[in-house]
Chain A
Amino acid sequence: MRKSLVRTGAAALALAMSVTALAACGPGGGEESGEPTEITMLVLGDKPTNGRLEAMLEKLNVRLEEEANAHLDLFYVEWADWQTQYNVQLLSGDDNVDLITTATDWLFAWENAEKGAFLPLSEEMLQENAPKTWDQVDAAGDWDLTKLDDGQIYFIPEDNFTQWTNHGFFYRGDWATEAGFEDGTITKFEDFTTYFEWVKENQPDAYPWDIAGPNDAALTGYLQGHTDGQTIQQVSAGIYFPFQTTESDPYTVSSWYMEGDELLEAAELAKEWNDIGVWREDALNYDGDTREEFFAGLSGADQHHTQTFVGSIVDNMTKKQPGSDPKFFYWGQENGNYFRDILTHGAMAVSANSANPEKALEVYDVLRNDEEAYKLLNFGIEGTDYVMTDDGKLGYPEGYDSSTDALGSNFWGGRMDEFEPDRVTDAPNKQEIYDELDASAKDYEYSTLVVNKDLIDPTLAAMGGVLSEYIPQLQYGKFDDPAAAIDEMRQKLNDAGYEDARAAIQTDMDAWAEERGLE
C-alpha cells in the first residue's frame, strides 16, 4: 500500500514536471463584449518607476474607454541591450503586444516587415479603424513610404512631425573661441583636429571627445561632408547601411565603403585623432555615460542629432556649464550634403501576432489625433507633469526634476506638430537652427523605392559581419595601416558578394526610376 503511494508520488512529480513544461502559460483570451479591450504598445526606453506613468495611464484609459472602448498598456524594451531585446521580442512571436514602435533607419522597419513581424494593413482596415490617421497620411501622399514589394502597407509613418535627426558634433563655443575659432564656431569637420588638440592641452580633466562603444560617427561625419553620397535607407547589412547613390549620379547604386578615397581619408583623420588622444584609448570597451561627462565638463564634444541638441544639450549645458556656449556642427554642413528627416524615422506597426489588430488601430488613431489623449500620453497630467507658461510654452511645475520625474512614455510613432508646443527647455535659437537646416537640406528621394532582398539576404548578413569587424576599428583609428585594412575589408566585402547585392539593388533602382520616368 505504502509502496504504491510512494510510487504514485514519483509519477506525480514526473508528470507535474512535464505538465509545467508543456502546458505553458498562454494568455487568457476571449474578452466579453462590452469590456474594454487591453491594447499593449511596445515602446523603447526604461520604464519609469516614479509612478507618474501609471497615474497618466489611468487618466488616459478613461479617455480611451470613451473613444475606443479600450485600455492602453506600455511594454518597454529597455536601453540595456535594446537591439537584442527588440529583435528577440519580435522573434518570440509574443501575442501580448499589439502595437510596435518602429523606424526605417534605426529600428530596421523594412527588415522586420520582410521577416513577417508586422501585420500588413489593408486600406479598408485603416480607413475603418484609423480614419483620421488614414486621411492625414493619405492627404500627404505618404502611404507609399511604408509599402513592401507586395504593395501592402506595413506601418504608419510619423509623417506630420517636424524633427531634425541629422547627426553632428555638440561642442563648446567657449573652448572653441580660446582655440582660435572666430565666434567659437567650427565649420569644417577637419577643423575639429585643432579644437581637440586645444582641449587636450588646455583642459587636462577632459577628453577632447569622450565617446564609447561600437560607432561610426567619425567616419560618417567625414564621408557625408566630403562626398555627395546619399545613403539608401532600405538596405542594411547588420547595423550598417552600406549602399549609397551620389547626387551627381542619383540612380546608380554604389557604396562609399567600397569606392573612392574618402573612406581612407576619414580613417586617417580618425587615426590622427586617436594618436592625439581625442577619445579614451579603450573607447570600444568603455561603458560609462559620455553625455553626462560632456555636461560635467569632462568631455569637449558629444555626438547626436539636432533634436537632442535643441531639446536637451543647450538646456543642460547652460545650466551645468554656464558660459559654455554649446554649439552644433552637423555632418555635411560644409558641402550641404545632409537630409531633411525621412518621414519614417518614427513609425508604428501592428504586430503580426496581435489578437486585436483592429482595436489596436483604433487606439492608435485616438492617441495620434485626439488632443486630450495625445497630451496625456506625451506630456502627462497638466499641473503635475507639465505646466503651460503664459507665453504658451510647455514648462515644468515648481520642484520638477527631469532626471527623476520624467514621464517616459516615449511615444515615437505618431507625434503631431499641431499638438506640440514649444518647450521652455528648447534652445532659444531653435527656430534659427531649423531655418538654417531647412534652407539647404536635401530631400531623401528614394522613400518609395522597394528593394527585394530575398536573394541577397545571406549576402547582406555576411557583409554585416565584415563591416562590424572593420568599421569600429577604422572609426577609432586602431589600425596601424588604415589603407591596408580598408583593402582587406573591401576584399572581404567582395568575397561576401557585394557586387551581387549591388546589382540586385540596382535592378530594383532601375525599375523604380523607369516607373517614374527618371533618367
Chain B
Amino acid sequence: MATQANVARQVRGGRYEPLPARSRKSLLRRIGDNRTLLLMCLPAIVFFLVFSYAPMPGVWIAFTNFNYRDGIFGSPFVGLRNFEFLIQSGQLWLLTKNTILYNVAFIVLGNILQIALAIMLNEIRSKYFKKISQAAMFLPYFISVVLVGVIAFNLLNYDTGVVNALIEQSGGDPLKIYSMAGLWPIIIILFWLWQSTGYGSIVYFAAIMGIDNSLFEAAAIDGASAWQRIRYIILPSLKPTFIILLLFSLGGIMSGNFGLFWNLVGNNAALFQTTDIIETSVYRMIISQNNFTSSTAVGLYQSLFGFALVMTCNYVVRKINEDYALF
C-alpha cells in the first residue's frame, strides 16, 4: 500500500513539478507522514478558510460605490473617496484614539485588579467562602451584554436611577449622567471590569497555585514577610502569564467589546466623543445610514492598522525574548 502511494506521488510530481526530485519528495513525504495530524487540523482550517479568509477579498467594497446589482467587484470604483472624509474630519483619528485608549485602560487596570484579586483569593482559607465568592465573581460573565445595557440605564438614569437616588438621599443634586461624556470612560471601564475581572483573576490564581511550594517554604524559613512573599515570589512568577495575556490583548487592540459599548451607549450622540470606538461606528454606519462603503473602509483601516501594530510589537518582543513572541 505504501509503495502504491509513493508511485502515485511520483507520477503526480513528475507531471507538475519542475523542482528537484529530492525536495519535492520530502514535502510530499512530510504531508504523507503527517496526514493524520493534518486531517485533524482540516476542520479548523476549512472553518477559517470559509468564515474568515473567503470574505476578505470583499474589502474591495471600501473602494467602490457599492450597489446590490453590480455586487462587490462590479460596483463603480471610486478610489479613496470613501476614506477622504473619514480622515479629513478627524473621525478616524478619534475612533483610533478611543479604541486604543480603552484597550490600554482595560489591559492595565484589568491586569492589576486581576492580579490583586488572585493574590487575595490565594490567601482565603475557607473552601466554601472561596467557592461562593468565585461563583459570584463569575456571575457577570453569564449575563448577556443585552442585559448589561438595561442594568446600566436603571442604575444611571436621571429620574429613577439608583445612583441618583443615592446622591439625592445624601443631599446632593442628581447628575445628568447620560449627557456627561467625560464620565463615560469611567463607567464603561467599571462595567468592563465588573464583567471580566472575575474570569481574569482565576487565570492568575491558577498560575499562583502552580508555583512550586518549596519557594514559599524557603521564604518562610528566611523569615520573609507576607509583602515580601508577594513581591519576590508571586509577582515574578506571574510574569509569563502576564506577557502571554498581554500579547493576546494586543492582537485585539483595534477591536473592542462591541456588545458592551453598543448596549451601554447606543445612539446617544452626546457621548460619542468619548465612547465611540471603531466597531460601534462601523455598526452604526450600516444600521442607521445604510452605508456599507464607509463602514468597510473603517473596517479595513482597523485591520491594517491593527496588523501593523501587532507585527511591530511582536517583532520587538521577539528581539527581547523569543520565548514570549506570539509567532
Q: Residues on A close to B: CB < 8 A?
A: 7, 10-11, 13-14, 17-18, 21-22, 81, 83-84, 87-88, 90-91, 93, 108, 111, 114-117, 213-214, 238-239, 280-282, 284-287, 352, 454, 457-459, 461-462, 464-466, 468-470, 472-473, 478, 492, 495-497
Contact = CB atoms under 8 A, between A and B. Distances in A.
A469 B159 CA distance: 24
Contacts of B294: 458, 461-462, 465
B50 A81 contact: no
B237 to A, nearest CB: 39
Contacts of A7: 36, 39
Contacts, number: 148
A286 B150 CA distance: 10
Interface residue tally on B, bucketed by range: 35 or more
B67 interface: yes
Interface stretch (B16-24, B111-119, B263-271, B306-314): B263-271
Contacts of A116: 67-70
Interface string B173-194: 0001111000000000000000
Contacts of B36: 7, 10
Contacts of A10: 36, 39-40
B267 A284 contact: yes
B291 A461 contact: yes
A468 B81 contact: no
Interface string B240-259: 00000000000000000000
Contacts of B51: 21
A284 B268 contact: yes
B43 A17 contact: yes
B287 interface: yes
A148 to B, nearest CB: 12
In the complex, the 9 A-B pairs of residues with the closest C-beta atoms, listed nearest first: A116-B69, A281-B158, A238-B289, A462-B85, A14-B42, A84-B287, A116-B68, A282-B178, A284-B268
A108 B293 contact: no
Contact of B68 (A90, A213, A457, A459): A90
- Most chain B CB atoms below 10 A, which of A93, A459, A470, A478: A478
B242 to A, nearest CB: 36
B96 interface: no
Contacts of B78: 458
Nearest to A237: B289
A213 B268 CA distance: 8
Contact of B269 (A91, A281, A468): A468
Interface in B86-104: 86, 88-89, 91
Q: Is the interface of A mostly helix, strand, loop or mixed?
A: helix
25 contacts: A10-B39, A17-B43, A21-B50, A81-B287, A83-B287, A84-B286, A88-B286, A115-B67, A115-B68, A116-B68, A116-B70, A117-B68, A214-B267, A239-B288, A282-B177, A282-B178, A284-B268, A285-B153, A286-B157, A454-B65, A454-B76, A457-B293, A465-B91, A468-B288, A469-B272
A81 to B, nearest CB: 7
Contacts of B177: 282
A114 B289 CA distance: 15
A83 B287 CA distance: 6
A280 B161 CA distance: 12
Interface of B: 36, 39-40, 42-43, 46-47, 50-51, 65-70, 76, 78, 81-82, 84-86, 88-89, 91, 153, 156-159, 176-179, 265-270, 272, 284-294
Given A465-B91, A465-B294, A17 B153 contact: no
A17 B89 contact: no
Contact of B65 (A18, A213, A458): A458
A464 B89 contact: no
Given A21-B50, A458-B82, 11 more contacts: A21-B51, A84-B287, A87-B286, A115-B68, A214-B269, A281-B159, A282-B176, A282-B178, A457-B65, A461-B294, A472-B267
A468 B42 contact: no
B68 A352 contact: yes
B68 A469 contact: no
Nearest to B85: A462
Contacts of B43: 13-14, 17-18
Contact of A286 (B84, B153, B288): B153
Given A14-B46, A458-B78, A91 B85 contact: no
Nearest to B159: A280
Contact of B291 (A90, A93, A238): A238
Contact of A239 (B179, B266, B289): B289
A214 B88 CA distance: 26
Nearest to A458: B81
Contacts of A93: 68
Contacts of B84: 458
A159 to B, nearest CB: 25
Contact of A284 (B82, B270, B286): B270
B290 to A, nearest CB: 5
Contacts of A88: 286
A479 B273 CA distance: 13
A496 B89 contact: yes
Given A10-B40, A14-B43, A465-B285, A282 B158 contact: yes
